């Protein structure tokens, strides 16, 4: 992962990976079917294990909002803890035509399911709006968290990533608008207002 994180999958050679691991080139092939399998196994184990942590943390909270908060917090925590994983995950996940795509899709689905579950529970609880298009809510949450992580990575991991969790969740819930009861910014026309 260190090697993939530093140079990207295609720019990394099996020899470099073996060197970093302190074994001979051929030894890699005793544990991985081929170069691609290194990435596949990474997604299978390392990140799967992380996702299990996500599940645990979500389950520890009772309310939907609490679960959401926990999800975002643990997400940032785990990605901050293992920066190489974070880089490889963010980078290789966005390759559209990856061979490991099935692995990724499956894992991504797990994440989406957690969010669906949280949102639905929140709606039952009355804490989350009922007039939401679930698909978009998922994008909002996943996309925002992803981007917060990406920014942190590009900045070289200088600051504390986890501290972003709280304000981010708050933004999900309240939105950026001032919400006076008398004026609904979504007036249904969808037209930008011109003078």
Partner DNA sequence: GATGAATGAGGATTCATTCAT
Partner DNA sequence: AATGAATGAATCCTCATTCAT
Region label for 156, one of left (φ > 0), alpha (ψ between -120 and 50) or beta (otherwise): left
Cβ–Cβ under 8 Å, residues 167 and 148: no
* In the complex, minimum distance from the CB of residue 34 to DNA, in angstroms, rounded to a whole number: 3
Among 1, 5, 8, 29, binds DNA (CB under 7 A): 29
Among 2, 6, 8, 14, binds DNA (CB under 7 A): 14
C-alpha 2/C-alpha 174 separation (Å) is 39
* In the complex, minimum distance from the CB of residue 93 to DNA, in angstroms, rounded to a whole number: 20
* In the complex, minimum distance from the CB of residue 177 to DNA, in angstroms, rounded to a whole number: 48
Tokens 């060197």 locate to 19
* In the complex, minimum distance from the CB of residue 184 to its own copies, in angstroms, rounded to a whole number: 9
C-alpha 94/C-alpha 44 separation (Å) is 17
Going from the C-alpha of 17 to that of each of 2, 25, 70, the distances in angstroms are 8, 8, 35
Interaction residues for DNA, span 34-93 (CB under 7 A): 34-36
Q: Does 125 help bind DNA (rule: CB under 7 A)?
A: no
Cβ–Cβ under 8 Å, residues 22 and 52: no
Measured from the CB atom, the residue of 36 and 166 that comes closer to DNA is 36
Q: Does 99 help bind DNA (rule: CB under 7 A)?
A: no
Cβ–Cβ under 8 Å, residues 46 and 39: no
Q: Does 124 help bind DNA (rule: CB under 7 A)?
A: no
Q: Does 25 help bind DNA (rule: CB under 7 A)?
A: yes
By a kind-dependent CB cut-off of 5 to 8 A, residue 29 interacts, out of DNA, its own copies, none, with DNA
Q: Does 7 help bind DNA (rule: CB under 7 A)?
A: no
Distance, C-alpha 3 to centroid of its chain: 21
Residues near DNA (CB under 7 A) are 12-15, 23-31, 34-36
């Amino acid at each position: 992962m260190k090697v993939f994180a530093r140079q990207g999958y295609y720019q990394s050679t099996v020899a470099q990976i073996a060197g970093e691991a302190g074994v001979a080139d051929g030894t890699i092939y005793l544990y991985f079917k081929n170069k691609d399998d290194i990435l596949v196994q990474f997604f299978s184990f390392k990140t799967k294990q992380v996702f299990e942590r996500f599940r645990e943390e979500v389950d520890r909270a009772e309310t939907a909002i609490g679960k959401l908060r926990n999800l975002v917090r643990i997400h940032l925590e785990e990605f901050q803890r293992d920066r190489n994983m974070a880089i490889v995950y963010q980078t290789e996940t966005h390759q559209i035509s990856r061979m490991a795509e099935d692995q990724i899709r499956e894992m991504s689905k797990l994440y989406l399911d957690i969010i669906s579950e949280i949102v639905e529970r929140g709606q039952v609880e009355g804490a989350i709006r009922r007039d939401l298009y679930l698909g978009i809510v998922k994008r909002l949450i996943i996309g925002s968290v992803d981007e917060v992580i990406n920014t942190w990575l590009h900045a070289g991991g200088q600051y504390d990533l986890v501290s972003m969790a709280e304000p981010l969740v708050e933004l999900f819930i309240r939105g950026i608008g001032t919400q006076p009861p008398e004026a609904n910014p979504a007036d249904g026309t969808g037209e930008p207002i011109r003078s």
